[in-house]
Amino acid sequence: MLLSLEVKNDSDGDLLPFVLDALSEIAFHPKFLASRIEKERRAILSELQMMNTIEYRVHCQLLENLHSENKLSKRFPIGLEEQIKKWDADKLRKLYERWYFPVNATLYIVGDIDNFSKTVYQIEVR
């Protein structure tokens, strides 16, 4: 899982705690709200339509041939439209509980860090 948030310097205060709270909710404590699931479904279906190009179809055929011995030849990252349309909170929660391992997550912070100890503390308390 790759999560990326770009945070600009804020002269009004430190945004890092808010960003870390958002990442924590997404990565470690997802709520599987129906409204969020529907919003994400629409976004993915939109991406699927944008990717429906000859180049993408050729790329998929290439992957099918290069990886015919494993599941990559049949499972492309964006998924299948008919499956995406059937998602519900229960299915996603079961998938998350079965296959997602938060201990495999890695957090990278890139940028100018004024107080390294404070930044590490803010990460560790979450």
Asked whether residue 73 is assigned to any structural domain, the reply reads: yes
Domain that holds residue 91: 22-100
Whether 54 is covered by a domain: the verdict is yes
Q: What is the pLDDT of residue 52?
A: 85
Number of domains in the chain: 1
pTM of structure: 0.62
Map tokens 């990326």 to a residue.
4
CATH of the domain at 69: 3.30.830.10
Distance between CA atoms of 22 and 8, rounded to whole angstroms? Answer: 16
Residue range 74-114, pLDDT digits in tens: 777 778 899 999 989 999 999 999 988 888 888 888 888 88
User: What's the CA dihedral at 58, 61, 63, 65 to 10 degrees?
Assistant: -140
Answer yes or no: is 68 within a domain: yes
Q: Residue 112: phi, psi to the nearest 5?
A: -85, 115
Q: What is the pLDDT of residue 68?
A: 87
94 domain residue, yes or no = yes
Q: Is residue 16, in this structure, part of any structural domain at all?
A: no
Please check whether residue 109 lies inside any domain of the structure: no
Across the range 116-123, mean pLDDT stands at: 90
pLDDT given for residue 108 in this prediction: 86
Identify whether 108 is part of a domain: no
* Helix (H) or strand (E) run with residue 106 in it: none
pLDDT value, residue 54: 92
Q: Give the up-direction half-sphere exposure of residue 45: CA atoms within 13 A in the CB hemisphere.
A: 13
Would residue 57 count as lying in a domain?
yes
Quick: pLDDT tens for 16-71.
888 899 888 888 889 999 999 999 999 999 998 988 899 988 988 898 899 888 88
